Amino acid sequence: LDTFNKIVLTEYNITTTSINEVPAKGKLDKIEFNGKECIIVDYKTGSPEYSTKKELLGPTDDNPKGGNYWRQMVFYKLLLENFYPSSGWIMTAGVFDFIEKNKEGTYQRFTIPIQEHDLAFVKEQIKEVYSSIMNHEFEQGCNDKKCRWCNFAKTYQLGAPLAIDID
C-alpha cells in the first residue's frame, strides 16, 4: 500500500466518444497521475500463470493481431485521448495488476508500453471490425478449433431458427 500512487481516479467511465468515427465507450479501473502524465491500471482476477505472455504482446508473426491484453490497453489509450483531449493527460503506459498471488506467493504487474504505431494499428482494427458489424458480416471468426463462438457460427445459419433441446 505504501507504494501505491494516491492521486488517482477509479472506475472512470467514458460514456460517449469515437475513435476513427466509430462509437466507443468503456470503464477504466484506475488512472494514476503524476502531473499530466498518467498510467492506466486494469485489475485482473485469476492467477497470472493462466495469462499467457502472448496476450501481453503486440503483433508478432505467430499472432499478427496482437494479444488481447495488449489490444485492450492500446484501446484504453485511444479511449482516453479521444474522450477528453483538452485535459492534456498523457498516458505513458498501461499496467495489468493481478489481484491473486502467483505460485511464488507474490502479486504480479505487467506494464504495457504503447507506441504511436500501436495506436494506428488498433485504430485500423477498430475501423475494420466496426465496418464488418455494420455490414452484418459475422461469419469470420478466429478459427481456433476450441473457440466456442467459431464452433457455434459454423453450425448456425443466419436467419434460421435455433433448435433448443430441453430434456
Tell how strand 109-112 and strand 37-44 pair up: unpaired
Backbone angles phi, psi at 16, to 5 degrees: -145, 120
Give bridge partners of residue 148 from the DSSP assignment.
none
Residue with cell 503483433: 59
| Residue 143 pLDDT > 70 | no
Average pLDDT (56-75) is 92
Average pLDDT (7-12) is 96
Going through 20-148 in order, the beta strands assigned E by DSSP cover: 22-34, 37-44, 90-98, 109-112
| Residue 92 pLDDT > 60 | yes
Taking a C-beta distance cutoff of 8 angstroms, is the pair 62, 114 a contact? Answer: no
Q: Is the pTM of this model over 0.75?
A: yes
Taking a C-beta distance cutoff of 8 angstroms, is the pair 57, 70 a contact? Answer: yes
Interval 14-64: pLDDT, tens: 988 899 899 999 999 999 999 999 999 999 987 787 667 788 999 999 889
